[in-house]
Amino acid sequence: MSDEQSLFPIVMRGYDRGLVESRISSLEKALDEARRDVDTLDGRVQQLSSELGDAQRQVKESDRPSYSGLGSRIEQLLRTAEEQSSDILAQANQQAADVMARANLAAGQIRGRADSEAAELLADARRESEEVRSSAAAEGETTIVNAQARAEELVGSAEREAARIQSALATETQDRRTTLENELAQKKAVVERETTELRVTTENDAAALRAQVAEETAALREAAERDTTDLRERTRVEVERQLAEAKRQGAEAAAAVTTEMEALREQARVALAESELAVAARREEVEREVTERHAASQAETLALVSAAEAQAAEAEERVSTALEQAEKVRRDSDDYAKDLLATARQNADRILADARTFAEQTVADATLEAEQQRLAATRQLQDLSRQHESVTTYLDELRTLLADRVDVPARSSAGLTPPAPSGTRAQQARAAATQVDAPDVPPAPEADDLDATVELDKVTPPPAPREEKSHA
């Protein structure tokens, strides 16, 4: 068995070593039994040849009878008959020896052909089983590697898509935040500029500001919802397309393996049919030769011809047994290839299911993060709305305060409170602008506080004008 181990190397997903060695051992035992049967027939032929030789020697060694007492004429006739019988016996012995030699030669040829055919069939069966096993193992391994690579590619693509979505959402959120901050800065400048001109345009500017903030808030909210919906839809379509592509490739690989196995089985069937035809032709040829020799032989050689026919039948039986064993090896190879293909398909389906689960989880995570960012943007918009309402309230209070200040000159002429310098109005305007960023709007000053401010402005020099006022 050590010489046969190289035919079936031990590899993962290969033949079971014990089963292979058991099958080869059974085939070798059958071949040894056939050889022993042939040797037994050879011994039987040699025994018959020995018995025939002994009989011939006994005939030759027997004493010739004496016919001297029967007369010269009768003695001559008897001698002539004895010589003729000796010649006939010698011819019969020669014919028997020729028939025996031809039978021995035919038996040797049949035995040699049977041994050669059995060895060839055994080698072909081993080679075919090894080729089928190697091809199926290679195809299954290639299918598994391709499915794993495709699954890894899908996972990497899903991860990259999720990272791209997260980056895009972060960039979009940052852009929106920057835009909102810029708009807020612009609104601060507008509020500051409008505060300096509040006597004539306060109502119009406040209304325009409220309308503009409301429109921009609605536009930003709609844009955020629309972008989130589009992004979720694109992600879902891309993942479905990639999953469909992975399924198609797995189906194509399985179909290719199935086609290859069908081709191998067809080749094995053709080879088996050709072997059966060749054996049948040789059997007919042997039967024809045996029949011709049987017709030409004498009665003494019938036993030898029958033995040769029996030997040929046994050789055919051994060939048939070898063919059956080869067919069984081929069936085992087909079963193993089918099992390997089923295992490869199961592994491919499992990898595709894992990739699909991971992709769905990635999409769900990206969707959740997008929803969280949308909620954060919504909260920022709500904060801006509250700040806008605070600014509007404060402007209303400032407008009321300024309306009250319009009556101050009249009260001064009546001897009440002198008018406040322009610096105080500038300070109040700046204070109104700084309140835009404050979460809580302070209450409007009372009349006593206003009078105290006016008295303080009498001794406080007016502040230097701000750069924004020059631009205004």
Return all residues near 411 (Cβ < 8 A) that are at least 6 apart: 417
Residue pLDDT tens, the chain, 472 long = 444 444 555 555 555 667 777 777 787 787 788 778 777 777 777 777 777 777 667 656 554 555 455 567 666 766 676 676 667 767 767 776 777 777 678 767 877 776 787 778 778 767 876 777 787 678 778 877 887 787 788 778 877 887 888 788 788 888 888 887 888 788 777 767 766 676 666 566 656 666 777 787 777 778 767 877 777 787 778 767 777 776 777 677 667 767 776 776 677 677 667 767 776 776 677 667 656 655 665 666 566 656 656 766 776 777 677 677 767 766 776 676 677 667 766 766 676 666 667 667 766 776 787 677 778 767 877 777 787 777 777 677 767 776 776 665 555 555 544 444 444 444 544 454 444 444 444 444 444 444 434 333 433 444 444 444 434 3
Q: What is the pLDDT of residue 470?
A: 39
Q: What is the pLDDT of residue 190?
A: 76
Return d(Cα 443, Cα 393) in angstroms, integer: 10
What radius of gyration, in Å, describes the C-alpha atoms of the chain? 57
Tokens of 385: 């709305």
> Which residue, among 244, 240, 241, 257, has the nearest Cα to 345 in the 3D structure?
257
CA count, 13 A, side-chain hemisphere, 260: 19
**8 A C-beta contact, residue 93 and residue 293:** no
Tokens of 215: 């429109």
Return d(Cα 207, Cα 320) in angstroms, integer: 106
Q: Indicate the domain borders of the chain.
A: 407-472
pTM here?
0.29
Q: What is the pLDDT of residue 289?
A: 67
**8 A C-beta contact, residue 365 and residue 266:** no
Other beta carbons less than 10 A from residue 358's beta carbon: 15
> Which residue, among 215, 174, 218, 236, has the nearest Cα to 376 in the 3D structure?
174
Return d(Cα 403, Cα 410) in angstroms, integer: 13
Q: What is the pLDDT of residue 14?
A: 53
Return d(Cα 194, Cα 201) in angstroms, integer: 7
